[in-house]
Chains A and B, each alone.
Chain A
Amino acid sequence: MNQIDDTTIWIIIVGMAFGSFGLRFVFLGFVGDRPMPAWLLRHLRYTAVAILPALIAPLVVWPAATNGEADIPRMSAAAVALVVGLITKNVLAAIGSGAITLYGLLYLLG
């Protein structure tokens, strides 16, 4: 992994600290009881569900640890974690089964 310089890290930390607080404060603090436009709420509803898969998809298909080669244990673990999460709606069960799949297959395929 690349070494990250200290200045960059501090800029990120401070920026995210203020940014995250701002996002949490904007409605609770400034808007108060005033109503918000429906289109805005409709888009906000899908932020997490869009941006998290978008962040992971390339990591699953081209993992850095194998220099971007598609990799059976990692692909399988990803699929298991997603499917178990979909079925059980339980985050920890999904992580657990994903981890077992990853380690099991890494061990078997050595």
Chain B
Amino acid sequence: MAFTTSNSYYWKGFRDGSPFVFVAIPFGTLFGVLATEAGLDIYQTMTFTATVFAGAAQFAALQLLQENTPTMIVLASALAVNLRMAMYSAAITPHLGAAPMWQRAFAAYFVVDQSYACCTVRFEQEPDLTIQQKMAYFFGTVSPIAPLWYIATYMGAVVGTQIPDSWALDFALPITFLSMVGPMMRTAPHVIAALVAIIVSLLTTTVPFNLGLLIAGCAGMMAGAQAELLFERKGAKT
């Protein structure tokens, strides 16, 4: 009985996650293309995409690698892009924290924007789900996305070297990131965080080793957090 109900939640998750394949396919392909252009072979590209499993951070690492950034700074900056995964992990812990360790370890790998987004919505709508149902739903959301992400990366890596310069792929990354940033601007503190980060990053381009990125990122985070506090206090007064 418990099995059939969690089974049906797996398929609910599968359905809710399905629209995201239209994001995973183009992003995966683009990563494959850009990684190949940067000089990674297919083996490296696929290991990268399968073990890291986080588009934005992978793109960030590629970009910094091409700018001759020291290895440690590439790692720190790209992982900083992935700090939001820690936040997602924190946010779904109240829901999935009671599951057995091996399931949680397995689930941790699949914590991405899409699974997090689906789960927050569903678990808020149906707070009475059992831990089995929640886990089933969680794995359901990533089931359509993950395989297509790997396949798309592979396809991109195969065709990557044949794409001519006139396609201006140098700008695919900025456009993709900017497009991801727009929908993130949900509140005034988000906008403030982004603006501060942009200004500081433009002012710190001469700082060696691309450290400007980390400085700008920290400045933006602090600005966002402070702005949130400020708006909360204002809201409390009025």
| Chain A residues within 8 Å of B, Cβ to Cβ | 1-4, 6, 8-17, 19-21, 23-29, 31-33, 36, 39, 41-65, 73-74, 77-78, 81-92, 94-95, 98-99, 102-103, 106
Contact = CB atoms under 8 A, between A and B. Distances in A.
Main secondary structure on B side of the interface with A? helix
28 contacts: A1-B39, A9-B44, A20-B85, A21-B109, A23-B86, A27-B86, A28-B104, A43-B221, A44-B86, A49-B181, A51-B197, A52-B81, A52-B180, A54-B216, A57-B201, A61-B202, A74-B174, A78-B178, A81-B175, A82-B181, A85-B181, A87-B182, A91-B179, A91-B183, A94-B183, A95-B175, A98-B178, A98-B179
A26 B65 contact: no
A92 B22 contact: yes
Contacts of B198: 53-54, 57
B89 A52 contact: no
Contact of A24 (B109, B212, B221): B109
B190 interface: yes
Interface residues of B, number: 95
B151 interface: no
B101 A29 contact: yes
Contacts, number: 294
B26 A54 contact: no
Interface of B: 22-23, 26, 37-40, 44, 47-48, 51-54, 56-58, 60-61, 63, 65-66, 68, 71, 74-75, 77-90, 92-94, 96-98, 101, 104-105, 107-109, 111, 168, 170-185, 189-190, 193-194, 196-198, 200-202, 205, 212-213, 216-225, 228-229
Contacts of A57: 197-198, 201-202
Contacts of B44: 6, 9-10, 13
A47 to B, nearest CB: 4
Contacts of A60: 174, 178
A26 B89 CA distance: 8
A21 B148 CA distance: 20
A28 B108 contact: yes
Contacts of B111: 24, 28
B200 A54 contact: yes
Contacts of B168: 65, 73-74, 102-103, 106
Given A12-B78, A50-B224, A54-B216, 4 more contacts: A23-B89, A43-B224, A74-B168, A77-B175
A52 B181 contact: yes
Contacts of B93: 27-28, 31-33
A95 to B, nearest CB: 4
A90 B183 contact: yes
A1 B182 contact: no
Contacts of B77: 51, 55
